[in-house]
């Protein structure tokens, strides 16, 4: 008797980023129904970074505009590299919790210490 087992496929951070960005509408050359994937080619990943290459020089500013105008604003950092490659990373979370005015210290064991900013600077 054979059991059908569903294996959970773990996607890399770069694959998740590509899934979020590739189907976004992009304004290129006044053409209708254009998507990011039509003008940006996914090349692979380097760690958690997505490596892509624009198909034309206009694709990078158009991609930046798409991200800024969507609900993804502030979620990604885009940097260019030699050869016209683009690296896309998630924006790191700030270490300061602005609402509660705490400074957050991540520990190697995964725990987080929160110290009030006033206590840290007034001692």
> What is 13-90's CATH number?
3.30.1360.40
Nearest to 101 by CA among 83, 116, 111: 116
Query: For 45-72, how does the pLDDT look when each residue is reduced to its tens digit (9 = 90+)?
Result: 988 899 999 999 999 999 999 998 888 8
Query: For 79-103, how does the pLDDT look when each residue is reduced to its tens digit (9 = 90+)?
Result: 998 888 999 998 877 665 555 677 7
Question: For position 85, what pLDDT does the model report?
Answer: 93
Q: Contact 38/26 with Cβ under 8 angstroms? A: yes
Q: How many residues does the chain have?
A: 123
Question: For position 103, what pLDDT does the model report?
Answer: 73
pTM: 0.67
Average pLDDT over residues 94-122: 67
Report the percent of the chain where pLDDT is more than 90.
39
- Residue ranges, comma separated, of all CATH 3.30.1360.40 domains in the chain are 13-90
Average pLDDT over residues 23-36: 91
Question: For position 72, what pLDDT does the model report?
Answer: 85
């Amino acid at each position: 008797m054979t059991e059908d087992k569903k294996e959970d496929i773990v996607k890399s951070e770069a694959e998740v980023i590509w899934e979020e960005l590739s189907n976004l509408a992009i304004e290129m050359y006044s053409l209708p129904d254009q998507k990011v994937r039509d003008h940006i080619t996914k090349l692979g990943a380097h760690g958690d970074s997505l490596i892509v290459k624009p198909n034309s020089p206009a694709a990078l500013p158009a991609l930046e505009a798409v991200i800024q105008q969507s609900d993804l604003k502030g979620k990604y950092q885009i940097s260019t590299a030699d050869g016209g490659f683009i690296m896309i990373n998630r924006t790191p979370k700030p270490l300061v919790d602005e609402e509660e005015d705490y400074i957050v210290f991540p520990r190697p064991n995964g725990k987080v210490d929160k110290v009030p900013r006033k206590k840290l600077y007034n001692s």
